[in-house]
């Protein structure tokens, strides 16, 4: 009797889960919650948010702030992945964008009468716009190679991934440019109404993207291209242009991240800016439930995916028992497990095994 | 035969999908040395039954006995190993692999851990020999006709130990001659004692080759009959569940609209168009409200012509006039803007977007013509989708189902809906009734013809001559990538067209 009841309840729970998982957000949210919970257990003050010097501070704010890079890249990457593509050049584009902005802001310390003067080589808006334009153009270059020349996405973006760091080095003449122009620091390190400015940037990009997805046919077209490019073209939709713009947008997002990185680090380092970020971004997209095979995509899933990766990194660092050299291994193992659990066929297999056991025990 | 034991016996098989009861307790028997047809309307559950037998789906209930033992295959591979060879309705061959690779993909014989190419090639040749096909198996699959590709699909699943062969609508893309060749092979296999299950919507073929018929209607079992004891009329009655005299008023061509004054009513005129390697120089014109038929064998240039008109392929030369104005159509979107629509023959690769919903598939071309920013409001989308689901009788739980969960014929209807929704002035239909059941065929033709009466023109491409002749006021005949003649009026007879196709003028 009790067994039956339990089965009923289990059935109901399972039903709820399948329904929720259809919205695509179920698993990402669960994992994020789990990670937060683990953190709270280790560090009782984890959820505390206090106001220091008019700024909100606390672990949560910290995670949100730091995850802004991954999230921005993941948003751009989501569209790319939805068209059954991939963009592994975003890390390099981050470096280029950082280098361009640093170069245009200028790396000279000007001191007059013992007081630092805030001068820039070019006006700051020019530097920002130039960095974003160049990043977008680089994305378009990827898009052209893929949509017009028919290169495989991974190959096309690999070219820029490899060449990009070189380009960034060329711009900075092989040096790390250090920036002293204070107004520029606001972008990546400033606070507005007590909240880090980068969070506003993420929110703004997210709002635009959600608007495009919900209120225009862009989402439909992107999915359609990702599922069946030929049929989409036959239906009168310019598949090539969609692919082109999707990569351009990914470049644009990488451009913003370049600005954030440069501003936050107060320097541009062609070698290290954005290093390995493309991998985190792709992971975030996958964790968010978007399949690398293209088609259906989940923007909010990718955002949560980004949060998961960032909080995971933070958590692993904060657990003293894990040696620093083991950090990456632990992260990889957890990501692996998360991906496994998200895979429907894996879940079915596990469910099958459990079901069989149950049967045998009867 | 009655005292023989069936090799396959399925009893009370049930299967439901979210929102649909695909099968509600059907029976099915298959004997060795017979060809057996399962008949039923689109969505009746034919493909589902096959997939349950071969382990693609798990039945919700019922029993399966194969070779005298109760069994339930867990995967199609297991079924194949035990001797059930199946060519599914949606075959996925790889056109850019060789014939031999296609036959052995996923089960390559190995030698010292390496793929044994010699063996693959020689085995492939042997398997194809059994099907009366002798070709160079190292050539790309795409270099052969659809008929050969169909044989390759069969060779792929057939092995020496096969005892059952299942073919789900294998002939829908074959012409007369190719069907004959396939049937010869089937008869040969049958005489070797193979049990063959054959699904088709062509009644002629059913009566030509099968020994026994099982009829399904709406997921229920109607009955099992010997083909020779079941007259056609009765078969249709059993499938459809209503008297067919209601359908006897077949849609006919409408000539009223076709005026003699070509200058005024010319909708599309193509002059001296050609593309090297695809289509020799041709000219044609379509008037407002007219149905122009394309007849010819597969690969004769019918589809190629349509692709050139619609801007999918770029012609080397030629002019295109739409409503007497010179236009440049260099992509499908250009063509759609000018009021053209093209429903391609290969619905899987060129038609449906299988993971999108029925609604999204229906509005796709319309939305494409509106552009990204003018997104149809959701209510409007629902309305359009529901309208066509009703008008074409698309069988789906609701408009939000993924289109791949629909039966083959219903997917075809979704495609048709996509193009009708754009309200085109010229609709090019390439094998539009492929895989659609007899009942729905007439309904769809009727529906399309009613649009014609309202002034829409149609280019109607079909391998079924009878169908082409019935709906067209003129027929362009194609042979060897050339438009060889145009017939109208009293020349519109099956023999005359056959004759023209065959080469005698
Ligand atoms: N994977 C699936 N998910 C949901 N519904 C399905 C699925 N497969 C089939 N169906 C539904 O089951 C019913 C029977 O489909 P089935 O493919 O067996 O029809 P069919 O008789 O083969 O038709 P056709 O002649 O058009 O090929 C249809 O209503 C279809 O929508
Ligand atoms: Mg079917």
Over 70: is that where the pLDDT of B250 sits?
Answer: no
Of all protein residues, the one whose alpha carbon is nearest to atom 28 of ligand 1 is: B43
Over pLDDT 70: what percentage of chain B?
92
Residue range B2-39, pLDDT digits in tens: 457 888 899 999 998 887 888 988 999 999 889 999 99
In chain A, domain spans: 31-319
In this structure, of A124-138, A297-311, B139-153, B356-370, the range with the lowest mean pLDDT score is B139-153
Q: Which residues of A fall within a CB distance of 8 Å from B343? A: none
Q: Which residues of A fall within a CB distance of 8 Å from B368? A: 221, 235-237
Report the pLDDT averaged over residues B324-342.
88
Give residues with Cβ within 8 angstroms of A337, minimum separation 6.
none
CB atoms under 10 Å from CB of A360, counted, come to 7
| Ligand 2 ion: nearby residues, β-carbon < 5 Å | B 47, 89, 407-408
Q: Which atom of ligand 1 is nearest to the CA of B89?
A: 27
Q: In the structure encoding, which two tokens stand for residue B263, read together?
A: 């200058």
Q: Which residues of B fall within a CB distance of 8 Å from A223? A: 353, 355-356
Q: Which of B405, B412, B435, B441 to probe ligand 1 with, by most ligand atoms within 8 A of CB?
A: B405
Residues 301-360 of B with CB under 8 A from A: 312, 331-333, 335-337, 342, 344, 349-356, 360
CB atoms under 10 Å from CB of A46, counted, come to 18
Q: How far is A236 from chain B (nearest CA, A)?
A: 4
Give me the pLDDT at residue B1, please: 47
Contact B333 A232 (CB under 8 A): no
Of B349, B353, B373, the CB nearest to A216: B373
Q: What's the gap in Å between A222 CA and the centre of ligand 1?
A: 27
Angle at alpha carbon of residue B418, lines to B412 and B421, rounded to 5°: 135
Contact B372 A221 (CB under 8 A): yes
Region of B449 (left: φ > 0; alpha: ψ -120 to 50; beta: rest) is alpha
CB atoms under 10 Å from CB of B180, counted, come to 12
Domains of chain B: 8-241 (3.40.50.300), 242-339+425-505 (3.40.50.300), 349-423 (no CATH)
Contact assessment for residue B148 and residue B133, using Cβ atoms and an 8 Å cutoff: yes
In this structure, of A7-11, A90-94, B439-443, the range with the lowest mean pLDDT score is A7-11
Give me the pLDDT at residue B504, please: 57
Residue range B381-422, pLDDT digits in tens: 999 999 999 988 888 888 999 998 898 888 988 999 999 999
A210 touching chain B per CB within 8 A? no
Question: In whole numbers, what is the pLDDT of chain B averaged over residues?
Answer: 84
Over pLDDT 90: what percentage of chain B?
20
Contact B349 A221 (CB under 8 A): no
In this predicted model, which residue has the larger pLDDT, B147 or A34? A34
Over 60: is that where the pLDDT of A336 sits?
Answer: yes
- B322 sits in which H/E element: strand B317-322
Of A218, A231, A238, the CB nearest to B351: A231
**Which residues partner with B66 through β-bridges?**
B8, B69
Q: How far is A250 from chain B (nearest CA, A)?
A: 19
- The complex's ipTM works out to 0.81
Give the Cα separation of B137 and B22 in Å (integer): 40
Q: Please tell me the pTM assigned to this model.
A: 0.84
Residue range B63-113, pLDDT digits in tens: 899 888 888 888 888 888 888 888 888 777 777 888 888 888 766 666 666
Comparing CA positions, the residue from B105, B192, B194, B90 lying closest to residue B141 is B105
Report the pLDDT averaged over residues A4-15.
66
B372 touching chain A per CB within 8 A? yes
Give the Cα separation of B500 and A62 in Å (integer): 79
Residue range B252-302, pLDDT digits in tens: 555 544 444 444 578 888 888 888 888 888 889 888 888 889 988 777 888
Comparing CA positions, the residue from B363, B341, B294 lying closest to residue B451 is B341
CB pairs under 8 A between A and B: 73
């Amino acid at each position: 009797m009790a067994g039956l009841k339990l089965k009923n309840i289990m059935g109901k729970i399972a039903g709820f889960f399948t329904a929720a998982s259809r919205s695509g957000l179920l698993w990402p949210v669960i994992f994020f919650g789990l990670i937060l919970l683990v953190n709270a257990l280790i560090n009782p003050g984890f959820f505390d948010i206090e106001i220091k010097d008019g700024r909100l501070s606390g672990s949560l704010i910290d995670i949100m702030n730091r995850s802004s890079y991954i999230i921005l890249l993941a948003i751009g990457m989501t569209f790319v992945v939805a068209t059954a593509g991939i963009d592994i050049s975003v890390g390099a584009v981050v470096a280029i964008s950082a280098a361009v902005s640093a170069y245009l802001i200028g790396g000279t310390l000007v001191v007059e009468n013992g007081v630092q003067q805030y001068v820039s080589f070019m006006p700051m808006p020019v530097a920002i716009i130039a960095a974003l334009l160049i990043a977008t153009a680089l994305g378009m270059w990827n898009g052209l190679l893929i949509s017009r020349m028919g290169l495989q996405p991974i190959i096309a973006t690999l070219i820029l991934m490899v060449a990009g760091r070189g380009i960034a080095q060329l711009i900075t003449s092989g040096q790390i440019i250090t920036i002293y122009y204070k107004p520029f620091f606001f972008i990546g390190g400033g606070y507005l109404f007590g909240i880090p400015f980068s969070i506003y940037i993420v929110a703004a990009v997210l709002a635009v993207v959600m608007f495009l997805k919900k209120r225009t046919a862009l989402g439909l077209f992107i999915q359609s291209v990702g599922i069946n490019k030929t049929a989409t073209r036959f239906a009168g939709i310019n598949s090539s242009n969609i692919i082109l713009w999707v990569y351009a947008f990914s470049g644009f997002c990488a451009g913003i991240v370049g600005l954030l990185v440069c501003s936050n680090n107060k320097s541009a380092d062609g070698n290290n800016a954005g290093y390995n970020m493309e991998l985190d971004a792709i992971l975030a997209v996958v964790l968010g439930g978007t399949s690398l095979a293209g088609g259906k995509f989940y923007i909010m899933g990718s955002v949560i995916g980004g949060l998961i990766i960032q909080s995971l990194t933070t958590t692993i660092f904060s657990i003293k028992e894990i040696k620093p050299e083991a950090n990456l291994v632990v992260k990889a193992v957890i990501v692996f497990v998360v991906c496994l659990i998200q895979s429907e066929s894996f879940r079915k297999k596990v469910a099958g095994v459990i079901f069989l056991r149950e049967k045998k025990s009867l | 035969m009655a005292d023989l034991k069936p090799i396959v016996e399925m009893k009370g098989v049930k299967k439901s999908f979210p929102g649909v009861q695909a099968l509600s307790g059907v029976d099915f028997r298959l004997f060795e040395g017979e060809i057996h047809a399962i008949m039923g309307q689109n969505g009746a559950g034919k493909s589902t039954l096959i997939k349950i037998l071969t382990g693609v789906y798990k039945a919700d209930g019922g029993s399966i006995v194969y070779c005298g033992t109760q069994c339930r295959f867990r995967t199609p591979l297991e079924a194949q190993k035990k001797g059930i060879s199946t060519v599914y309705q949606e075959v996925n061959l790889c056109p850019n692999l060789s014939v031999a690779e296609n036959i052995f993909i996923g089960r390559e014989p190995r030698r010292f851990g390496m793929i044994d190419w010699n063996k693959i090639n020689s085995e492939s040749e042997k398997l194809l020999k059994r099907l009366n096909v002798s070709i160079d198996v190292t050539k790309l699959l795409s270099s052969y006709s659809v008929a050969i590709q169909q044989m390759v699909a069969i060779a792929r699943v057939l092995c020496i130990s096969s005892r059952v062969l299942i073919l789900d609508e294998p002939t829908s893309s074959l012409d007369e001659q190719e069907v004959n060749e396939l049937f010869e092979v089937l008869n040969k296999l049958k005489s070797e004692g193979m049990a063959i299950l054959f699904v088709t919507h062509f009644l002629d073929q059913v009566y030509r080759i099968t020994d026994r018929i099982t009829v399904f209607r709406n997921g229920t079992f109607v009955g099992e009959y010997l083909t020779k004891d079941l007259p056609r009329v009765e078969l249709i009655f059993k499938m459809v569940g209503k008297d067919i005299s209601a359908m006897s008023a077949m849609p006919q061509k409408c000539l009223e609209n076709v005026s003699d004054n070509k200058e005024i009513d010319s909708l599309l005129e193509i002059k001296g168009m050609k593309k090297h390697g695809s289509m020799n120089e041709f000219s044609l014109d379509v008037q407002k409200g007219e149905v122009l038929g394309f007849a010819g064998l597969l690969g004769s240039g019918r589809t190629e012509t349509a692709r050139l008109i619609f801007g999918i392929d770029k012609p080397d030369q030629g002019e295109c006039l739409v409503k007497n104005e010179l236009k440049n159509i260099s992509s499908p979107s250009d063509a759609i803007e000018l009021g053209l629509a093209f429903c391609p023959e290969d619905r899987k690769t060129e038609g449906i977007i299988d993971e999108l919903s029925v609604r999204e598939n229906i509005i796709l071309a319309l939305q494409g013509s509106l552009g990204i920013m003018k997104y149809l409001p959701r209510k409007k989308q629902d309305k359009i989708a529901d309208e066509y689901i009703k008008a074409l009788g698309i069988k789906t739980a609701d408009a939000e189902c993924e289109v791949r969960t629909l039966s083959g014929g219903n997917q075809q209807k979704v495609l048709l809906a996509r193009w009708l929704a754009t309200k085109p002035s010229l609709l090019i239909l390439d094998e539009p009734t492929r895989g659609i059941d007899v009942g729905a065929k007439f309904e769809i033709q009727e529906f399309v013809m009613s649009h014609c009466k309202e002034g829409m023109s149609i280019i109607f491409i079909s391998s079924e001559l009878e169908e082409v002749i019935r709906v067209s006021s003129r027929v362009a005949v194609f042979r060897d990538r050339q438009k060889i003649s145009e017939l109208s009026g009293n020349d519109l007879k099956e023999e005359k067209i056959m004759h023209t196709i065959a080469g005698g003028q």
